[in-house]
Copies of this chain bind each other. A is one copy, B any other.
Amino acid sequence: MKFNIALLAGDGIGPEVTEQAIKALDAIADVYDHTFKFTKALVGACAIDATGNPLPDDTIELCKASDAVLFGAIGHPKYDNDPSAKVRPEQGLLKLRKSLGLFCNIRPVKAYERLIENSPLKKEIISGTDISIYRELTGGIYFGDKHLSEDGQVASDGCSYSVAEITRIAHLAFKEAQNRRKKLTLVDKANVLETSRLWRKTVTEIAKEYDDVELDFLFVDNAAMQMILNPSQFDVILTENLFGDIISDEASVIGGSIGLLASASVGSTVGMFEPIHGSFPQATGKNIANPLASILSAAMMLRHLDLHKEADAIENAVEKSLELGITTGDINPKKAFTTTKVGDFIADYITHPDDTN
C-alpha cells in the first residue's frame, strides 16, 4: 500500500530523531512492500525564522492532504521567558491541533522492566505500570477567550467545554478501556469547577453504554499524588486539556524512560504522531538524542493506519535494542550509542530480525 506522510520535523532534535523514524519506516516499506512518501513542511521556531509564521498555510494544507503526520518537536530558547513575544513556536502547535481537529491526545505510559532501575521511583512502586492517558486537546482553557485589560492590570482566560466535546473523546477512551483492563478513571476538579461537573455528568451518562468498563473519579490534586504513590492502579485515564498536560507529563517521568514515550493525536481526520519529549536544544546536532520515542511514534502511526504486523515489527526492534543495550546515553551513560547508530540498528533489525538475534 502507499501512504503519504507529512513530515514536520520542527526544531532542536526534532529533525535528528524523525530521521531515525524514517529509516525504520523505510525498512518496514521494504519488508512489507509498502510505499511511504514523506513530504517535509515547516512548523515551530524554524517556520517563524523562515516565514514569520509558526504554522504556514502550506503546512496545514499538506497535513490535510496526507494519510498521517509525523511530528518531531518544537521550541527554541530564544522564544522562552519572553511573555510579550507576539509570535511563539507553541502557537504553531496549538493551531495545528485545532486545524486538524486533533481533539484526542493518547499517551501510553509503560514501565519497561529493563529500564525500571532508571526510574526516580522505587521498583516496587513502578513495577507493572501500564497506563493509557486520553487528554482532550482542542478545548478548555487552552482555546478559551484570552483578555488583557487596556491598562494591563487584569488578565483573564476562559475555560469552557460542551457535552459534544466531552462525548467524542469519552467514547474513544471507553473503547480503549474495553481493549485493555476495563478500567477508566476520569480526572477532574468537580468539587470546584463547573466544567469538571459537566465532564463528570457526561462521562457518567456515557458509561452506561460500556457496562463492562469500571468508571471511577479522581480530583486532579489527588491524581497527582496517586500517580506517584501507586501508578499501577491506573488503566485508562481520561481528562481535559490542562489537567492532561500536567498529569501526562508527571506520568512520563515515573517510568524512568521519557526518551521512549510516544504519543498520538487523533480526531476527525488525519492523525499526528510525535515523541512526548521536547526539542531539547542543548542536544541539538550532537547525535546524542534518543530516537526511540520518535521510532515508537512511527509504530503508533502504523497501528493507526491498521498496519499491526508492521507496528509490531518496530516495537520488537525497540525491545531488542533495549535488551542488547544499543541505546543512547540517557538510558545508559556508561555505554552510549549515537542517535544514528540506534536508528541503524532498528532499521537493520526490522530488515533482518534473525541475523541480529
Contact = CB atoms under 8 A, between A and B. Distances in A.
A122 interface: yes
A65 to B, nearest CB: 28
Given A221-B245, A225-B250, A146 B193 contact: yes
A155 interface: yes
A254 interface: yes
Contacts of A304: none
Contacts of A157: 158-160, 193-195
A220 B142 CA distance: 14
Contacts of A250: 221, 224-225, 227-228, 250
Contacts of A162: 153-154
Given A122-B121, A221-B246, A250-B225, A152 B163 contact: yes
A81 B217 contact: yes
A228 B144 CA distance: 30
Nearest to A155: B198
Contacts of A88: 191
This chain's copy number in the assembly: 2
Interface string A176-215: 0000000000000111111111101100000000000000
Contact of A229 (B227, B245, B253): B253
A164 interface: yes
Interface string A216-233: 010011101101110000
Interface string A111-126: 0000000001110010
Contact of A122 (B122, B189, B242): B122
Interface in A23-80: none
A151 to B, nearest CB: 9
B193 A141 contact: yes
Nearest to A197: B83
A156 interface: yes
A247 B220 CA distance: 10
Contact of A200 (B83, B222, B227): B83
A229 B228 CA distance: 12
A356 interface: no
